[in-house]
Amino acid sequence: MSTANPTAALAALADIQRGFQSSGYIASDAIATCVYIAQALSKPILVEGPPGVGKTELANATAKLLDKPLIRLQCYEGLDESKALYEWKYGKQLLYTQVLKEKLGDLMQGAQGLKESIARLHEFDDTFFNEEFLEPRPLLKALWAPQGAVLLIDEIDKSDQEFEAFLLELLQDYQISIPEIGTVKAKQPPVVFLTSNNTREIGDALKRRCLHLYIPFPDAKLEQRIIESRVPALEAGLRTQLVAFVQSLRGLDLKKVPAVSETIDWARTLLLLHAAELEPALVRQTLNVLLKFQDDIEHVDAEVPALTRQAAKNA
Amino acid sequence: MTQVLSNFIKALRASDVRVSTAESIDAAAALALVGFEHRTLIKEALGQVLAKTPDDKSRFNDCFERFFTFEDLAGDSAPGDEQATGDDQREGAPGEDGGQGGSGGGGDGGLAAMLERGDGPALQQALASAARNVQLQNIRLFTQRGMYIRRILEDMGIEPLDDLLFALLKANDDDPRALRLKEQKARLVENVAGLVDRQMLMYTANAWPKLREEVLQKTPLARIEIRDFKVMQELVRKLAKRLVSLHSRRRHVSKRGQLDVRHTIRKNIEYDGLLFDTVWKRVRVDRPKVIAVCDVSGSVAQVARFLLLFLYSVAEVLPKVRAFAFSSHLGEVTGLFESKPVEDAVVETINTYGMGSTDYGGALAELERLTLADIDQRTTVIILGDARSNYGDAGERSLRRIHERARRVLWLNPEPMAFWNSGDSEMQKLGAACDKVESCRTLKHLERVVSEIARTAI
């Protein structure tokens, strides 16, 4: 069973990380490993973690890395297969029947009685139920994509349990059954990402079919690299201060702690304001970029000077 | 390697990480992909395949660290500088399959030679293969510890070593070689014991709590001791979570609608029969109202404690619970439960209402006065008590009036059925005014009762 080639695996991981970096996504080892395994075993990835750590961004970056189109399905309560998988183009079907009405008369000419007419009609049975009249929705689009695709099923936890069960067939065999047509199999298995914010527990059946990747908040070093890649114009000194400040904020008891995306926004804001270093007044003015609850802002406001000083010291 | 992986998965399961067969197959595939050289890589890969919740992840990490620990068996006597190669050296992990040889996985020199050479890797390997041969992963009880240590040592070939030692010492009482060997043997024994201990911890870490939970579920609640309360509360919460996930799913279904043809036609008569205003069929989400009345005197208090804990833990499926407690007088404690953590509320309830001799007549009359107006055909009344009314009024007339208005009245009696109607027990009178009378002594019973109430929530 030792077909494994560990150096090859390591090289592949390094490749993936480099590829991600070139599109501006800094991936930890865990993320790179996960993407690598998922591709090799053709398994979907269930990504969990606090909001704003780059779950959705990971799918974007993977699409760029593999040079495949990104197909996105946003989940919400009440999402069903007609919105996720396919729908018949009712309008088009109706229009065609109207237009073809006269043709229908020609066809029926000479038919004796109802029975024969119906028999004739049966010969054209599937004209209106073929792929021409099928409106593909994200899932079907992903299966039909000739070169494969990256399919992002975003916030699966917001969908209903029924939809989750409906996904199982797709995730297991990359195929899906349409009653009128039959089973549609993927031309090229898509790379599937599912993201979840854990508003509800995901079913075991779904979890079993996926690799599970948990993305936590990055440590200071990784976050600095992320800011460096996303906001390259920001000065190095300010960057370390800013990251140290945000990291210490995450230690506080807040309603919603700032995520990576908010750090990036803040970095951009500071850049826009031509800030040279973190000062309490400046931080106070821009705190609303980082914190999204008035309670939190008031809570942090008093501690801004201390936090700023500490951030400057740590940097 | 499959053997090692399956042992690891066994250890994972023992520490309460749920691993399905499909996932173990995935794990093997992932392992084949990343190879065995890089520990962190293996850890990441296996972690993503096997552990799928944050809890599981932390348990996985613990288990991984414990499972894949090796120590330097050669010790400090001879740091393997003199090319430590056994007859065929494999990697440091507990070996691939093979080396099935009955005694001693080491070279031709056997255990003694390995020890003298200070051959760490070979010893490690011999130890691993011995552990496998004696099936150390099946260890369950700490009393088996000595046996397994002995078996491993025997498998590694301790007997020839002992013979050799004996012969050497017989020839010369303080032969330096013999003394050194003796010391190394002692260290080896210590290492083996360490390995057995670690394995025991790994495979049995969770066996105890599990067994305890199982036993506790079946223990009469009145007999549960204070030191077990913490475990019990945890257990109640677990059961409650299961009930919630079981019953909340059904409520989702009932939210959907279908066209109600009959009502649509009826409603659209005024528009000349044009189907203008559609009516959708809806399954009514019937949120039951639950009124829980608990006798909190003496031994019944224990059961009441857990019933209340249960009812308030499934608040998601049973949103409307009113709770009353009584012994000599009755009072509503709903507000208490809404304002405080459940555990504290329970304690306070028992402290406030628990001191007094039970008076069912008074309590039920008071209950009638407080709630009768609020009871309708959606209300389930649960009364928990032993129906021992100290030869006073049983209050069955009040209960009957409540019964007439409520959807149903359940009586839970923590006494075994054989004791009902003996002495001052008024079970017969009171039971006649209930829809259902049940003996409810253990957590298992409670779970069944609460589940049944939640089921009618649909």
Could you give the 3-state DSSP secondary structure of residue B37? Answer: coil
Q: Determine contact: B97 vs chain A, CB below 8 A.
A: no
CA distance A11 to chain B (A): 11
State the count of interchain CB pairs (< 8 A) between A and B.
81
Alpha-carbon torsion (B347, B349, B354, B356), positive or negative:
positive
Closest CA to B177 of B186, B188, B185, B168: B168
B38: amino acid identity, one letter: H
Say what the pLDDT of residue B87 is.
36
Per the CB < 8 A criterion, the answer to whether B286 and B458 are in contact is yes
Write down the ipTM of this complex. Answer: 0.80
Q: Does B1 touch chain A (CB under 8 A)?
A: yes
B48 touches chain A (CB under 8 A): yes
CB-count exposure of residue B54 (10 Å: 0-12, 13-18, 19+): middle
Q: Give dist(CA B130, CA B123) in Å, integer.
A: 10
A2 neighbourhood in chain B, CB within 8 Å: 1, 36, 96
The whole-angstrom separation of Cα B261 and Cα B281 is 9
Residue with tokens 């609460």: B450
Q: What are the angstrom distances between the C-alpha of A118 and each of A106, A112, B67?
A: 14, 10, 72
**What is the secondary structure of B239-290 as a DSSP string?**
HHHHHHHHHHHHHHHHT-EEE-HHHHHHHGGGGTT---S--EEE------EE
Of A9, A43, A207, the CB nearest to B41: A9
In chain B, residues 290-309 whose CB comes closer than 8 Å to chain A: none
Q: Which of B363, B282, B359, B285 shows the shortest CA–CA distance to B317?
A: B285
- Are the Cβ atoms of B31 and A4 closer than 8 angstroms? yes
**CA–CA min distance A41, chain B (Å):** 7
Question: Is there a contact between B108 and B87 (Cβ–Cβ < 8 Å)?
Answer: yes
Interface probe for B, chosen from A37, A43, A171, A207 (most Cβ of B below 10 Å), is: A37
Please tell me the distance from the alpha carbon of residue B10 to that of residue B18, in angstroms, as a whole number: 10
CB contact under 8 A, B41 and A201: no
Partner residue opposite A1 with nearest CB, options B2, B41, B245:
B2
Using CA of residue A93, residue A94, residue A98, residue A104, what is the dihedral sign?
positive
- Contact at 8 Å (CB) between A271 and A285? no
Residue B58 at interface with chain A, using a CB cutoff of 8 Å: no
CA–CA gap between residue B369 and residue B373 (Å, rounded):
8
Q: Which residues of B touch A161 (CB under 8 A)?
A: 249, 252
Closest CA relative to residue A48, chosen from A202, A208, A229, A178:
A202
| Tokens standing for residue B327 | 């012994």
Cβ(A151)–Cβ(A38) under 8 Å?
Answer: no
In a mutational test of the B interface, the residue from A211, A213, A215 whose CB has the highest number of chain B CBs within 10 Å is: A211
Q: How close does chain B come to A6, measured CA to CA in Å? A: 5
CA B303/CA B443 separation, integer angstroms: 9
Q: Is A46 on the interface with B (CB under 8 A)?
A: yes
CA distance A259 to A218: 9
Q: What is the DSSP string of chain A?
A: -----HHHHHHHHHHHHHHHHHTT----HHHHHHHHHHHHHT--EEEE-STTSSHHHHHHHHHHHHT--EEEEE--TT--HHHHTEEE-HHHHHHHHHHTHHHHHHHHTT--HHHHHHHHHHHTGGGGSSGGGEEE-HHHHHHH-TT--EEEEETGGGS-HHHHHHHHHHHHHSEEEETTTEEEEPSSPPEEEEEE--SSPPPHHHHHHSEEEE--PPPHHHHHHHHHHHSTTS-HHHHHHHHHHHHHHHHS--SS---HHHHHHHHHHHHHTT-SS--HHHHHHHHHHH---HHHHHHHHTTHHHHHHHHHHH-
For chain A, how far is it from start to end, CA to CA, in angstroms? 49
H/E run at residue B381: strand B379-384
Q: For residue B177, what pLDDT is reported? A: 79
Instruction: Check CB contact of A43 with chain B, cutoff 8 Å.
Output: yes
B34 chain-A contacts, CB cut-off 8 A: 4, 6, 9, 33, 37
- Give the gap in angstroms from C-alpha B237 to the nearest C-alpha of chain A: 16
Interface contact B30-A41, CB threshold 8 A = yes
| Inter-chain residue contact B45 with A37, CB threshold 8 Å | yes
For tokens 């004996």, the residue is B166
CA-to-CA distance for B276 and B280, rounded, in angstroms? 13
Place of tokens 């959708």: B280
- Closest CB to B249: pick one of A33, A34, A161: A161
Contact B34 A4 (CB under 8 A): yes
Cβ within 8 Å of residue A247, ≥6 positions away? A219, A220, A223
Query: CA of B253: which chain A residue's CA is closest?
Result: A162
Q: How far apart are CA A250 and CA A258, in angstroms?
A: 7
Please state, in angstroms and rounded to a whole number, the distance separating the CA atoms of residues B362 and B364: 6
Chain B contacts in chain A segment 121-150 (CB below 8 A): none
Q: Between chains, do A33 and B249 touch, taking CB under 8 Å as contact? A: no
Q: How far apart are the first and last CA of chain B?
A: 51
Q: Which run of H or E residues covers position B300?
A: helix B300-313
CA distance B45 to A34: 7
Q: For residue B268, with 0-12 CB atoms within 10 Å meaning exposed, 13-18 middle and 19 or more buried, which class applies? A: middle
- Choose from B21, B36, B40, B52 for mutation: most chain A CBs within 10 A: B52
Chain A residues within 8 A of B6 when measuring between CB atoms: none
Identify the CA nearest to A222 among candidates A250, A243, A236, A197. Answer: A243
Helix orientation angle between A280-290 and A304-314, rounded to the nearest 10 degrees: 100
Pairing of β A150-154 and β A70-74: parallel
B54 interaction partners in chain A (CB closer than 8 Å): 48, 214
Of chain A residues 198-237, which have a CB less than 8 A from chain B?
Answer: 201, 204, 207-214
**Given this model, what pLDDT does residue A2 score?**
42
**For position B96, what pLDDT does the model report?**
37
* Residue length of chain A: 315
Report the distance separating Cα B398 and Cα B176, nearest Å: 94
What's the rounded Cα separation, in Å, for the pair B30 and A34?
10
**Residue contact A1–B1, C-beta within 8 A:** yes
Residues A34, B44: Cα–Cα separation, whole Å: 8
CA distance B113 to B85: 12
The CA-CA-CA angle for residues A218, A223, A225, to 5°, reads 135
C-alpha atoms less than 13 angstroms from C-alpha of A245 in its C-beta half-sphere: 31
Which residues in B lie closer than 8 A to residue A213 (C-beta atoms)? 48
CA distance B24 to B8: 10
Nearest CA in chain B to A216: B54
Q: What is the pLDDT along chain A (315 residues), one digit of tens a residue?
A: 444 566 788 888 889 999 998 888 888 888 999 999 998 888 999 999 888 888 889 999 999 999 999 999 999 888 888 888 888 888 888 888 888 877 777 777 777 778 888 887 777 766 777 778 888 889 988 988 888 899 999 999 888 878 888 888 888 889 888 887 788 888 888 999 999 987 777 888 888 899 999 998 998 888 999 999 888 888 888 888 889 999 988 888 888 889 898 999 999 999 998 888 888 888 888 888 888 888 888 888 888 888 888 888 876
Does B18 contact A10 at a Cβ distance shorter than 8 Å?
Answer: no
Distance of CA B59 to the CA centre of its chain: 14
- Which residues in chain B show pLDDT less than 70? 1, 70-109, 205-206, 248-257, 282-288, 299, 316, 456-458
Query: What is the value of pTM for the model shown?
Result: 0.66
B77 touches chain A (CB under 8 A): no
